[in-house]
Amino acid sequence: MYPDLSYILHALIGTEPDNAFSVVKTFGLFLALSFLVAAYFLYKELKRKEAQGLFEYTHTSRIVGTPASVLDLLTSGIFGFILGAKLLYAYFNFPEFQADAVSVLFSLKGSLIGGIIGAAIFAGIKYWEKQREKLPKPVEKKFVVKPSDRVGDIVIVAAISGIIGAKIFAIIEEMDDFWQDPIGTFFSGSGLAIYGGLIGGFIGVFLYLKRYNIKPIHVMDATAPSLILAYGVGRMGCQFSGDGDWGIVAKPQPDSWFLPDWLWSFKYPHNVNKDGVPIEGCTWEYCMELVNGVYPTPIYETFVATLIFLFLWAIRKRIKVAGVLFFIYLIFNGIERYFIEKIRVNSRYEEYFNLTQAEIIAILFVSTGIIAIAYLWSRAKKQSPKTDYT
């Protein structure tokens, strides 16, 4: 496994692990990659739907050519202060930052001198940028903003609200740990529930779209393929880092199994969770592996997610009723997650038929998808053939 970038570099070029590159965590890398993948395919789909005339564009204007305002300098200075304070503190306290970068970033720890330097630099940059754009007489310029122009904002909103949702749902599963250390648990870098992220991201993006009068139902269809592909990429991060999202202890491998052994059973050596027993002769930071081989469920989920993506991408132009593609995604997502839970390690609720949190949500996803598709198709039949099904 490769808990951080230093282990990846060790595998590629043979450098010793646990060096300065260890602050870049493997799961974080794949999480960032998943957002980039989602943004790319979302942009392509939004452009296609714009060409079909399914969106109304937003008209906006702003004054250009003005000098830097107090608010411009203040916001840039605050950002620079935070960044400078954290960077200089991390530099002089690198062992602490290396051990738990997230805790340092979300704490009140920082360097006052670094903050002042950062504030001065960023405020200065903003001032000179405005000076270059300054005109003898400021003018008002009008702009047309398309939904595809907002992909960056949509991804940022989805990332922030998704991470918050993922953390909340993870806390619900581990309430005892939360009550022992509420602040530390919430701001820790571990413990993220994927369904919480999906629900949180959906709520955040939905509210954003409503604010700018963008039809959510068309954006939902546009996001369906990218969501499942991003999910698969994220699961690759789970696999490569060994973050604990693996399966139960694998049963004996059948004689008919013709694929590599590690696709049936894997011990996750050097896993980021440090679970298991010590690896003989290992002196690195991450030197543990599981006692018994488990099902490498992240690999299975990545494979299935890719197949679902290819299917959704293939049928996206054939479905004419708005919203149906998204709810097809919801059904496939629920089915995939429900069955993979049968061989995953997870907490179960005895009072709810011994189901896991993910299984309960998966059932709701499938049920919602079926009901929604039936409703949308029924409504479409009642409309004129020339009417756009929105």
For residue 192, pLDDT beyond 70: no
For 272-325, what is each residue's pLDDT tens digit? Answer: 999 999 999 999 999 999 999 999 999 999 999 999 999 999 999 999 999 999
Q: What is the mean pLDDT of the chain?
A: 89
- When pLDDT is cut at 50, 70 and 90, the band that residue 168 belongs to is confident
Three-state DSSP at 295 gives: coil
Tell me how far apart the alpha carbons of residues 62 and 25 are, in angstroms, rounded to a whole number.
40
Instruction: Tell me the percentage of the chain whose pLDDT exceeds 70.
Output: 92
Mean predicted confidence (pLDDT) in 60-69: 88
Return the closest-CA partner of residue 38 out of 260, 239, 219.
Answer: 219
For residue 193, pLDDT beyond 70: no
For 117-157, what is each residue's pLDDT tens digit? Answer: 999 999 999 999 999 989 888 898 888 889 999 999 999 99
Residue whose pair of structure tokens reads 């919430």 in the numeric block:
186
- When pLDDT is cut at 50, 70 and 90, the band that residue 196 belongs to is confident
pLDDT value at residue 284? 94
Helix (H) or strand (E) holding 62: strand 58-64
- When pLDDT is cut at 50, 70 and 90, the band that residue 389 belongs to is very low
Tokens of 191: 């413990």
Tokens of 155: 């991804």
pLDDT value at residue 30? 93
For 84-105, what is each residue's pLDDT tens digit? Answer: 999 999 999 998 888 878 778 8
Distances from the Cα of 170 to the Cαs of 175, 196, 241, 359, in angstroms? 9, 8, 19, 14
